[in-house]
Structure 1
Amino acid sequence: MTQQFHGNTLSDAALDQIFNEARSYNGWLDKDVSESQIKAIYELLKMGPTSANMQPGRFVWVTSDEAKERLAGYASDGNKDKVRAAPVTVIIGYDIDFHEELPWLFPHVDAKSWFEGDEEGRKEGAARNSALQGAYLMIAARALGLDCGPMSGVDLDAVTKDFFADQPRVKADWICSVGYGDPESIFERSPRPDFKTFNRIV
């Protein structure tokens, strides 16, 4: 049962859908994901906080058979069929030159100047914050009734060269299939540690 806190706590059913009962799927039901659903996921994920609202995530939503086959060609053997079968697989990348967009994304101060001349710092910030955006993507998809299958078993350099060829400052980081998960494709849930195992309150 959900602990009672002050404020507007989500229902047990909502928390189960997003976290407690949600799983990473390896197979997919034969049900389409529409362009409007894809856009709805983005409209939610973009609201998640990033440092200085940098929004470094760049997303390619792979839906066509031709694009799926290209992406599957870069995936590890265990992930090829997952990519082919999923209605959508999104490539989560990050823009090393995200700071060029800060004048309109974070207009309160001259935030662009914080990052100029520091490419390594930009890479670190972009990777961290785009990973957050990828997590927001999964939460958004689950909140909208979809399932996710995140994967890192893919040749990211090859994915970058292919799918971000027109954006040379963008690097692919990981991929995540989205759709309606096949319950037959999941394993028994792996253990989750209790609070005291990896936490301290000081």
Structure 2
Amino acid sequence: MQITTKQLFDDARTHNAWQDKAVADETLHRLYDLMKWGPTSANCGPARILFVKSPQAKARLLPCLSEGNRAKTAAAPVTAIIGMDLAFYEKLPQLFPHNPDARSWFEGQPEAIQATAFRNSSLQGGYFILAARALGLDCGPMSGFDAAAVDAAFWADTSVRTNFLCNLGYGDPAGLHPRGPRLAFDEACRIV
């Protein structure tokens, strides 16, 4: 499979409307198998993903969303809840074995835990979107939800908290808005 920058960036769009076409579980497995190779600090990999597909799970999710996100999420074949495991450091002996003290960098350090989990799960969320696009899926990442309600509905009694949501499927181009502008290099970057 030849993947191009057009597929990942130039022609890729944020979708709000979806074709009535299912996403196979095997595709979701492959998506994770691709995204997991993206780098994170100390290979900590704090992202945890719930793929919301069933009508029952969607019914639990929709009340947690802002009104403007409900219809498009109801229509999306899959909604991924990208979470961050605040106990990610417990996996460091497995994920970062060449430094046996890595777990101690975080244990009892709530600010370091929160910052590292949020930063790295956000990175992994970016890899998730690129992996989905590489597999021919369209994405609709979003905020606009009650994180505490999503946590209560899906992550209760766990150390995982919600970072963001991403609708997945095969987008309907008829639902696209005109492409929004982006900042020019000189507006966003400096070389020093």
Q: Pick the TM interval, shorter chain.
A: over 0.9
Deviates more, 1:145-154 or 1:111-120: 111-120
Q: What is the CA distance between 1:196 and its match in structure 2?
A: 1.0
Q: How does 1:1-202 map to 2 (within 5 A)?
A: 14-109=4-99, 110-167=101-158, 169-202=159-192
Q: What is the CA distance between 1:91 and its match in structure 2?
A: 0.2
* Structure 2 residue runs without a partner (length 5+): none
Runs of 4+ off more than 3 Å: none
* Structure 1 residue runs without a partner (length 5+): 1-10
CA distance in 1, matches of 2:71, 2:60: 12
Amino acid at match of 1:39: H
- Normalising by structure 1, what TM-score? 0.92
Q: What is the CA distance between 1:141 and its match in structure 2?
A: 0.2
Aligned partner of 1:4 in structure 2 is none
Deviations 1:17-40 (A, max 9, x none): 100110000010011001000000
Amino acid at match of 1:130: S
Sequence identity percentage: 51
Deviations 1:22-67 (A, max 9, x none): 0000010011001000000000110000000001001100000111
* 3-state DSSP of counterpart to 1:141: helix
How big is the alpha-carbon RMSD for the aligned residues of Structure 1 and Structure 2?
A: 1.0
* 3-state DSSP of counterpart to 1:189: coil
* 3-state DSSP of counterpart to 1:127: helix
- Normalising by structure 2, what TM-score? 0.96
